[in-house]
Amino acid sequence: MSLLENLYNVAVNALRPLLPAFGAASPKVSAAVEGRRAAAGDIVRWAERERDPFRPLLWLHGSSAGELAGAIPVVDRVRAERPDLQLLVSYSSPSAESVLDELAADYAGYPPLETMAACREALEGSRPDAMVFAKLDAWPALTRAAAELEIPLGMINATVRPSSSRLRGPGRQLLVPSYGRLDAVGAVSEEEIERLELLGTRKEAIQVTGDASFERALERVDRARRASSATRHRLPDRTPGLVRLCAGSTWPEDERVLVEAAAVLVASRPTGADDDLELILVPHEPDASAMKRIRDLCLEHLGVEPRLWSAGPAPGGAPSRGSGMPPPLIVDAVGFLAELYLECDLAWVGGGIGGEGLHSVVEPAAAGLPVLFGPVYDRWEARQMVQRGIAVEAEPDLVPSILSGLSGDPGRRADMGAEARRYVESGRGATAASAHLVVDLLDEKPAT
């Protein structure tokens, strides 16, 4: 154990009495703090009741919903090979709760506090046959305790953003031992290998497996495409020629840029033009404050009341041709973004201007849409899509001209969308490769 890890363990122990104060910052933070404080005991009690020592147990950890969602097809494939598998899932953010039903874990909750005592208690109590991290988030105390107990450690869909603080200064020094303990790492692409090694991952432990979230996106989109019209969530009818942009997982900065761009397009629209644009806004958190925020933007810049998904179709149906841009539609519900993409012509992915980072660009690409996002991003797949011309990095002041150009060029939209779909399809095989990695870890050595 490194000196920095020792200091880290001492610091976490010293801060334990202050954790409730951190939790006062927000309900989400409070839930995470309280969850971690109780986690070791909760895991041990679950294991005493339900852990079957004759069945393999996989401990899967993911930071939040995105990381765990990408692991779902891998877990499904592992279960197909190991029907007797027990699954323990831990996560750092309450957003992960949105995908727990699909993982169908035997136990799900926060990981233990990052102290050696808490991590050893949870691991000794549950006795996992392997521990796997989804994408990143390998915690120092958790990996050290697992290594001391000879529990095989792995990582799937592994990626390290070039700008990540993990690669510099104290963050890197703290994490190098953690990544060095990993027995098998499935990297999403060749370009990740150098950064994984910089973080301490042993070269012989790394293999390029791809990103299983590509196949998850394909499955979600294709399932939505197959759904009957009676069960599918549908957008209101539209007039022929109307171009729809679905803005998924938007943050306030995305909404401001898009509504202001729409106002520019309305003001500059030539008489008789037939390339009207309709905004479909899907806020990352569709609560009352988001509804008010977007309504205020629409009234200020467009002079119209936005429509709400929950209100149903407007009386009189779709606007007649030539009546101008329809009022933006706010989707005040969650869980069917893939279906919305299938009814649109363009996609904007939120988080690239402000928020907590760019959201998934793979799902709209799987739906065959040209993908747009703001200039602040550091996702490997977004970089590749921009380089291949199937996505557009949009500076805020250029968004009106970009939307105008794509709205008026159906041929370019079709070509970009087809290439985007092919790009996602090129990721097939990642699920099988990642599942093989996990099964090998489960077989490697029984936990002591």
d(CA 420, CA 390): 5
Per residue in 438-448, pLDDT tens? 999 999 855 44
217 exposure class (CB count in 10 Å sphere: 0-12, 13-18, 19+): buried
Per-residue pLDDT for 109 more than 90? yes
277 exposure class (CB count in 10 Å sphere: 0-12, 13-18, 19+): buried
Sequence ranges of the chain with CATH classification 3.40.50.2000: 228-425
Q: How many CA atoms lie within 13 A of 385 on its CB side?
A: 34
Tokens (6 digits) for 326 = 């329809």
Q: Which residue has the tokens 């363990």?
A: 9
- Range in 125-129, 376-380, 392-396, 442-446 the model is least confident about: 442-446
One-letter-per-residue 3-state SS of 358-385 = CCCCHHHHHCCCCEEECCCCCCHHHHHH
Q: For position 287, what pLDDT does the model report?
A: 93
Amino acid at site 68: L
50 exposure class (CB count in 10 Å sphere: 0-12, 13-18, 19+): exposed
Tokens (6 digits) for 370 = 């040209």
CB 372 within 8 A of CB 348: yes
Note the CATH number of domain 228-425.
3.40.50.2000
Per residue in 313-337, pLDDT tens? 655 444 444 446 899 999 998 888 9
b/e burial code for range 16-36 (CB count within 10 A of at least 16 → b): eeebeeebeeeeeebebbebb
- Range in 120-129, 149-158, 165-174, 185-194 the model is least confident about: 165-174
Per residue in 236-281, pLDDT tens? 888 888 999 999 999 999 999 999 999 999 988 765 555 689 999 9
Sequence ranges of the chain with CATH classification 3.40.50.11720: 3-210+429-444
Which secondary structure element, helix H or strand E, spans residue 153, and what is its range? strand 153-158
Multiple choice CATH, 3-210+429-444, 3.10.250.10, 3.40.50.970, 3.40.50.11720, 3.30.590.20: 3.40.50.11720
**pTM for this prediction:** 0.88
In 3D, which of 86, 94, 100 has the Cα closest to residue 50? Answer: 86
Per residue in 11-47, pLDDT tens? 666 666 655 655 556 666 677 778 888 999 999 999 9
